[in-house]
Structure 1
């Protein structure tokens, strides 16, 4: 199994093909994914790349973290486990409700 990397600061026009090409210079790319907004389909400015070995992943981090892509500075580091997403969704939903009610009570 490969090593998954988080890539932030992507230009909104960046494609998965461009991401694959960029990272292929540092090893074998198992997969590349640009994350898009589920409602608009527009890129959210980040993605994930899976390299075939931890050594290749580290080489990509060293070479690409802080580098420029179409005038934007990239952030490249090890991806965090995906399990934190569900907690974030619940927190956002609760916070949104509280803010809505607070705003209504003031007016």
Structure 2
């Protein structure tokens, strides 16, 4: 049980540390240029950035209701998979295109260990 909690909090912490600070950089030139490079509209840039921030907060908070936490995991998973597809579609296969898959794998570990802890 202790090992499961450690794995859960490390994986969840990595996801949170990756996503939560991003809200402060949504208006940065690099973020805006990246959105434009992928051919996405600016309204989607803001909507996705805010939704990711809320999703990361929801998976970190231990008192988040189970169903809401479940949907936060789903949303973040779709985001990471979509980011991989978008990067491959625009830039082709490159190392940067697979970074979202790494984050998806860490998210999957967090999800699996979240369910192990809920069962106990």
Which TM-score tier does this pair reach, normalised by the shorter chain? Answer: under 0.3
Give 1 or 2: higher strand fraction. 1
Structure having the higher helix fraction is 2
TM-score computed with the length of structure 2 as normaliser: 0.25
Larger Rg: 1
User: TM-score scaled to structure 1, two decimals?
Assistant: 0.28
